[in-house]
Structure 1
Amino acid sequence: MTTKRLRALVAPVAVTAAILVAAPGAVSAAPGRVALERRLDDVRTAGAIGALAEVRTERGTWRGTSGVAQVGTTRPVRVDGRFRAGSITKTFLATVVLQLVDEGRLRLDDPVQAWLPGAVPNGDRITVRQLLNHTSGLFDYRLTLTLPPDAGFLAYRWRTWTPDEQVARAVANPPTSTEPGTAFSYTNTGYVLLGQIVEKVTGRSYADEIECRILRPLRLRDTSMPGTSPWIPGPHPHGYIPIEGRGLVDFTTMNPSLFGAGGELISTTRDLNHFYAELLGGRLLPKPLLVEMQTPGIPGGRAYGLGLSWRITQCGVRVYGNDGDALAYETWSFTTEDGRRQATVAITPDHDGDPDDAMDAFLNHVFCG
């Protein structure tokens, strides 16, 4: 989540739209349409310009939106709108890494040094597993950047970042722990390195591997790895960042290499629900590796495994997935282990309020209602 928020100059217009879709084998009644509309409106009111969601339950599928797609207009958000999914990219990349493990081309306990000699200090003691579960101790390169609301962030808009450059910025700082594998510390640097390792193992870019191993087989036609392309293809809401002295600045188009291998994905609510259903249903990984993915790096520690996180709802149901912060877009995507209930919500934050409590209420309603 973004940590600094400025008051928006323009208040979003309240617009709500919904579409009901019968899921395969589902009864015709949708899952609490009116209540879901109200909950999504609450999320938007709490801190968003626009919001879009897809919920799947035993009763059917609901897709809805709230707010506007662009500040200064009354144009509603489209239910099929695309957005930058941020760190949800990590689950896609982790899935590819684990598929390579399943093929015997890579081991979770391989040291980074074996694949990327000299890339990081202590590379002989940091493993692939520790990169995946954020226990490597590597400093997060994102913390070295100028971030909103500082106007200096705008200089990054069209810049192409290389993985080597991002790693170099990270290792110029001391590690977050003295011994790899002993403490959780979220770091995008680990996923930059994983992207490089995938390229070393396969001879192809991590984006190509995600495309051929996940996007095409699952027919995620509205999901893409944009690389350095600044555009979001297809319909999409505009995203904004707060800049001191300027209020909200439209940051929809930007060079996503800033987010790197752990954050560049563009997707839709429908595609993300389908991806997590297939992943947790065992159709992308064998059971032992899926269990590894669901195992925290530190016993009893943070609810984060190998590119997959989880939360316990107020009714005690554990749901798996991830959330993503791409500054101008924020996304949550979670699924019950049996795949019977799913929710994906994306917002364009207004950087004024805080939607977290309303988002928690939305998810609790879906998974506990």
Structure 2
Amino acid sequence: MELKTSYLAKHVRNLQPSGIRKFFDATAGMTGVISLGVGEPDFVTPWNVREAAILSLEDGYTSYTANAGLPALREEIAKYIENYFCVTYSPDSEIIVTVGASEAIDIALRAILDPGDEVLVVEPCFVSYAPLVTLAGGVAVIVQTKRENEFKVTAEELEEAVTDRTKAILICSPNNPTGAMLSKNEMEKVAAVAKDNDLLILSDEIYAELVYDELYTSFAALDDTRERTILVSGFSKDLAMTGWRLGFVCGPEEIIKGMLKIHQYAIMCASTMAQYAGLEGLKSGRKDVKEMRKSYRQRRNFIVQSLNEMGLPCPNPEGAFYTFPCVESTGLSSEEFATKLLQTEKVVVVPGNAFGAGGEGFVRCSYATSMAQLQEAMTRVKRFVDNL
């Protein structure tokens, strides 16, 4: 007997599939494809990090860890956060090791939201943010950034969206998909909105290590902001550990305790093997991160120059590994541009509207691929644009 559609919860039925996955699926069976769509480093996880995981298996460390994660790993995370973010957290009560940064965002929202609570979601943004708010019983209130502000949210835009049901601001800087990063002064203005309206800041800082032109500032490091900030990060981007699914979250003890309850029931703990790998990465992986960041900077400079020269205006991203060129001059929508480019030149980019309505007219191009691949991709994109 077939299941009735009505067996699914309404909020799940109404969720739209990821706009990113659509273009990955479309390449199935195709050869000669160059993907600029994957938000994933082309680097392999550093050998010493992989070796630490292998050694943990050989030593028989295959049981559960503490729910919050290996004590040694939480201690190392606390040291890392203090050294790099200039914020102090207790490894015993203010840090949880999670299954990627995605789980951290999920359990944070589930821990803080009552039904109907609103979260200001700054768009364009990663595709999971608004759906995760919905799945947690909240209401995602979209705050559209503007191209004339280089897709950086302003305090005025946030203030206009606040209501008496607003609980938090969900923001990512450096941003996926635009690469835009708020300056310290801009962050302080956002933090002032949170303080004035007694809001939490759910800050996705997964790209904090991939900043190219200035020092990084964490929301938690701003004056009087730590106690209202939930800081999310992980190992996927800077240490090329996407498949390990390892992240962490830091925050005020009360909130972290609430999140830990959900984590206990839903997850138990992150992979033991991955945790030992992450521990080694924090201890000795900074040199690898530095080399990757240097390579990404070179790739960024090349792809931005190439896109601008072919008539696709592209601001210089300050962080992450994405460019967000405007394709309006082609006369095609974001979806049409991405579809035709794939069909004719076998290059994958992601339509900007996959990241929110404000992304229409743009496409996301990841430069987390080799320079040789980028050069060939830019040759194909230029040929496509010229033929239009």
TM-score interval (norm. to shorter): under 0.3
TM-score, structure 1 normalization: 0.24
TM-score, structure 2 normalization: 0.23
From the CA coordinates, give the structure whose radius of gyration is larger: 2
Task: Name the one with the larger strand percent.
Answer: 1
Task: Name the one with the larger helix percent.
Answer: 2
